[in-house]
């Protein structure tokens, strides 16, 4: 957990005791197992409350600024829904071309502006390290909703919560990550997170989309069992979590290179026949064609449920950084 709080002024008394109050969420590396257990517990309570009452006033009067420099459906709308379900409100800047960014405003200045109006800022930006720059410029908490090919920590947290709820535990699982492991930021965060739970990690990718060597090195240094493959066939039978990713077209400079790998894998009913009975298939979405529609009705297909878990996790994170959990 980060050591220093950005918010030394404590207008509501006992917020001081709330872990994560006033903190930024930039990288999954900030989280210990203890933090994760805490997030799962809060997210679970959020789920119970949403099922029971729908919307409640935990963050009444608080404002979230959703600043998206890259396209998003689930992350932006689930953060907005999370804030509104907690009784707060949202300033949405999804089309930065209509904001002062189009006039050449810098990221630090945009962030300094938004924090005059909002209590917390969620940011997605195409450059690695941008969320950290935003956080350094702001007094209010900043949450990284994807910094280019870097990280997507809140996705990894919701992925972990999904595994926790679906399989009962994260301990000692075999996780197979399939697809674009180079540009897919969600697997960068998830591999790091799963390393806290003694996971065995299989990376299945075309040669040019392999998991970055620095991540493999980092996890090797922690004693994580990792193996790279070109096909999923040899590992599907031992997989507890099959985590499928889209080939990230927008990160390719050359369309021909993209075309050469875009259809590298399709998870279909045939592959699922070779998978365990008790396992799950996940995908951060959007799906292009890497999971066949015929898999959707398989009870092991968890990717639509995963989106709903995301709402509860993002409610938990907003409540935490605003000192209400």
Tell me the closest approach of the beta carbon of residue 284 to ligand ASP, in angstroms.
4
- Any contact of residue 188 with ligand ASP (CB under 6 A)? no
CB-wise, 140 or 152, nearer to ligand ASP? 152
Q: Does 284 bind ligand ASP (CB under 6 A)?
A: yes
Cα(308)–Cα(302) distance, integer angstroms: 10
Q: CA 217 → CA 25, 174, 223, 306, distances in Å?
A: 24, 19, 10, 29
Site string for ligand ASP, 226-255 (x = CB under 6 A): --------------------x-x-------
- The verdict on 189 binding ligand ASP (CB under 6 A) reads no
Minimum CB separation of residue 152 from ligand ASP in Å reads 5
Which of residues 271 and 307 has its CB atom nearest to ligand ASP in the complex? 307
Asked if residue 140 lies in contact with residue 119, where contact means CB atoms within 8 angstroms, the answer is yes
Length of the chain: 325
Please list every residue from 49 through 108 that binds ligand ASP, using CB under 6 A: none
Instruction: Identify residues 166-185 at the interface with ligand ASP (CB under 6 A).
Output: 185
Nearer to ligand ASP, 14 or 253 (CB): 253
Instruction: Compute the distance between CA of residue 259 and CA of residue 79 in angstroms, rounded to an integer.
Output: 33
* Backbone phi and psi for residue 311, each to the nearest 5 degrees, phi listed first: -60, -45
Torsions phi, psi of 18, nearest 5? Answer: -80, 120
CB of 292 to ligand ASP, least distance (A): 17
Residue 129 C-beta: closest distance to ligand ASP, Å = 16
Beta bridge partners of 49: none
**Residue 303 Cα distances to 208, 268, 282, angstroms:** 26, 14, 5
Cβ 51 to ligand ASP, closest distance in Å?
25
Whichever of 12 and 304 has its CB closer to ligand ASP, that residue is 304
One residue of 152, 182, 192, 200 binding ligand ASP per CB under 6 A: 152
Distance of alpha carbon 32 from alpha carbon 48, whole angstroms: 25
With vertex at residue 194, the alpha carbon angle to CA 188 and CA 197, rounded to the nearest 5 degrees, is: 160
Choice from 22, 88, 141, 146 touching ligand ASP (CB under 6 A): 146
The pairing of strands 241-244 and 174-178 is parallel
Q: Is residue 186 a contact residue for ligand ASP (CB under 6 A)?
A: yes
Minimal distance in Å, beta carbon 211 to ligand ASP? 15
DSSP string computed for 70-106 = S--SHHHHHHHHHHHHTT-EEEEE--GGGSGGGGT--
Name the minimum Å distance from CB 103 to ligand ASP. 26
Task: Give CA–CA dist 42/172, Å, rounded.
Answer: 23
C-beta closer to ligand ASP: residue 88 or 284: 284
**How near is the Cβ of 124 to ligand ASP at its closest, in Å?**
7
Residue 15 C-beta-side C-alpha neighbours within 13 Å: 21
Total binding residues toward ligand ASP, as defined by CB under 6 A: 8
Q: Contact positions toward ligand ASP, by CB under 6 A?
A: 146, 152, 185-186, 246, 248, 284-285
């Amino acid at each position: 957990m980060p050591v220093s709080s950005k918010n030394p002024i404590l207008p509501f008394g006992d917020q001081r005791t709330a872990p994560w109050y006033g903190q930024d969420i930039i990288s999954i590396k900030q989280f210990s197992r203890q933090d994760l257990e805490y997030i799962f517990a809060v997210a679970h309570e959020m789920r119970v409350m949403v099922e029971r009452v729908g919307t409640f006033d935990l963050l009444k009067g608080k404002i979230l600024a959703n600043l998206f420099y890259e396209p998003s459906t689930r992350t932006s709308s689930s953060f907005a829904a999370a804030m509104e379900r907690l009784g707060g409100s949202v300033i949405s800047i999804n089309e930065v071309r209509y904001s002062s960014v189009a006039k050449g405003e810098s990221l630090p200045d945009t962030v300094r502006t938004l924090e005059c109006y909002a209590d917390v800022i969620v940011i997605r930006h195409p450059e690695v390290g941008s969320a950290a720059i935003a956080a350094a410029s702001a007094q209010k908490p900043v949450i990284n909703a994807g910094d280019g090919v870097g990280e997507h920590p809140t996705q990894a947290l919701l992925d972990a919560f999904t595994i926790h709820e679906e399989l009962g535990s994260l301990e000692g699982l075999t996780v197979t990550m399939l697809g674009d492991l180079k540009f897919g930021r969600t697997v960068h965060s998830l591999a790091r997170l799963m390393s806290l739970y003694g996971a065995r990690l299989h990376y299945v990718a075309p040669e040019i989309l392999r998991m970055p060597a620095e991540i493999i090195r980092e996890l090797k240094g922690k004693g994580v069992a990792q193996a790279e493959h070109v096909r999923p066939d040899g590992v599907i039978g031992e997989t507890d979590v099959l985590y499928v990713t889209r080939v990230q077209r927008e990160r390719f400079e050359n369309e021909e290179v993209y075309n050469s790998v875009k259809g590298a894998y399709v998870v279909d009913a045939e592959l699922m026949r070779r998978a365990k009975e008790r396992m799950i298939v996940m995908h951060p979405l959007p799906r292009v064609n890497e999971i066949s529609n015929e898999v959707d009705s398989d009870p092991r297909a968890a990717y639509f449920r995963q989106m709903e878990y995301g709402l509860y996790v993002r409610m938990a994170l907003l409540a935490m950084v605003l000192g209400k959990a």
